[in-house]
Amino acid sequence: MECKREIAAADKQEKIIITCDKVSKEFSINDKSTDTFKVIENISLEVHENEFLVLFGPGQCGKTTMLNIIAGLDSPTTGKVFESGKLIEGPGPSRGVVYQTIALFPWLTVMGNVEFGPKARGFAQKDYRQKARYFIDLVGLSGFENTFPVRLSGGMKQRVGIARAYCNDPLVLLMDEPFGHLDAQTRYMMQEELGKIWQKEKRTVIFVTNNIEEAIYLADRIVLLDDCPTKIKEEYKIDLPRPRSLIDPEFLKIRKEISQAMDIDI
């Protein structure tokens, strides 16, 4: 299953999957007022096939909104977002989301959650059952197929979230601070795990985080965002070999460079 994609990936490295064209988003201050405030300002970016792109920035302002716009769950005030050249107008299975709040269906088992997408889309069970098993195994949850989410730890739940997104075979994976709710130790472990999973099953990923270590550890490319309104400040290509080390001098050098560019004022 995994080989098919990787061979195809080699010669199509430059294929553009997601294009954001001058995206801005405004919200009204409250229901009565026509006054608005800008959360996203003029973001244009391209995401290439099998690229791990990290949207990194401080604060809570517009990163999740940006990801929701790409997902189709929210719409931009101005600007457009395209998926493989096609305008995104609503939610759809070609973009898989991994949520910060994890958002598993609590009444479904691990297996039920992972195969939710292909099942809802009407594929034959013999096709997706095997695939679901493969991804459950890939995220390290073999043996938990029939367990309900309430019995799993936070880290395990998010593994299910990742497997669920993968199993639906999306063109791009959107990860919205997926490890934001985990404790520090589990977070490191999950970063490492996601790095491994992604190496084995390369996909196009847009990953949102406010954690600089996480960004450098995972990214092919980091888009540094300014807060309120969210806009692009800088871009960094991260060419470090994988798996990366958090204390590698090269790693620390990049970390310092990005930290300085952030000139954190919060």
Partner 1 sequence: MKVIRKLNNEKLENIVWGIISFTAIIIFWQIIVTLIKAENFPPPTKVFSEFLKDFISPIGKYTLLGHIGWSLSRVLVGYCAAAVLGISIGLFMGWSKFFRALFKPVFDLLRPIPPIAWIPLSILWFGIGEKPKYFLIFIGAFTAFTLNAYLGAVKVDKQLIGAAKMLGATDKQVFRKVVLPSTVPQIFSGFQVALSNAWMAVLGAEMIRSSEGAGWIIIMGMESGNTPQMIVGMISIGITGFILATSMRVLERRLVAWNVRGK
Residue whose CB is less far from partner 1, 64 or 230: 64
116 is a contact residue toward partner 1 (CB under 8 A): yes
Examine residue 117 and tell whether it contacts partner 1 (CB under 8 A).
yes
DSSP, res 168:
T
12/171 Cα distance (integer angstroms): 14
Decide whether 16 or 103 has the Cβ nearer to partner 1. Answer: 103
Closest Cα partner for 214 from 182, 198, 192? 192
Buried/exposed 76-91: b ≥16 CB within 10 Å, e otherwise:
beebebbbeeeebeee
Beta carbon nearer to partner 1, 208 or 262: 208
Binding string to partner 1 for residues 121 to 160, with x set by CB under 8 A, is what? x--------------------------xxxx---------
Q: How many CB atoms lie within 10 A of CB 133?
A: 17
Q: How far is the CB of 97 from partner 1 (least distance, A)?
A: 5
Q: Does 93 bind partner 1 (CB under 8 A)?
A: yes
Residue type, position 115, single letter: E
Using the minimum distance from each CB to partner 1, give the nearer residue, 83 or 220: 83
106 binds partner 1 (CB under 8 A): yes
Residue pair 64/27 in contact (Cβ under 8 Å)? The answer is no
| Window of 49-57, 91-99, 185-193, 207-215 that interacts with partner 1 by CB under 8 A | 91-99
- Angstrom distance (rounded) from CA 255 to CA 238: 11
Q: Please work out the total of residues on this chain that contact partner 1, with binding judged by CB under 8 A.
A: 27
Bond from prior residue into 118 cis (ω within 30 degrees of 0): no
Our finding on whether 73 is near partner 1 (CB under 8 A) is yes
SS3 content of the chain, % helix, strand, coil (to 5): 35, 25, 40
Smallest gap from residue 50 Cβ to partner 1 (A): 20
When binding is defined by CB under 8 A, the residue of 6, 27, 78, 92 that contacts partner 1 is: 92
Instruction: For residue 194, give the nearest of 94, 98, 79 by alpha carbon.
Output: 98
Distance (Å, rounded) from C-alpha 106 to C-alpha 177? 21
The reply to whether 166 sits near partner 1 by the rule CB under 8 A is no
**Which of the 8 DSSP states describes residue 88?**
P
Q: Which is nearer to partner 1, 74 or 192 (CB)?
A: 74
Min CB(117)–partner 1 separation in Å: 4
Among 9, 16, 103, 228, binds partner 1 (CB under 8 A): 103
Measured CA distances, 228 to 57, 60, 81, 188 (Å): 10, 9, 21, 28
Residues found near partner 1 in the complex (CB under 8 A): 71-73, 90-93, 95-97, 99, 101, 103, 105-108, 116-117, 120-121, 148-151, 164, 168
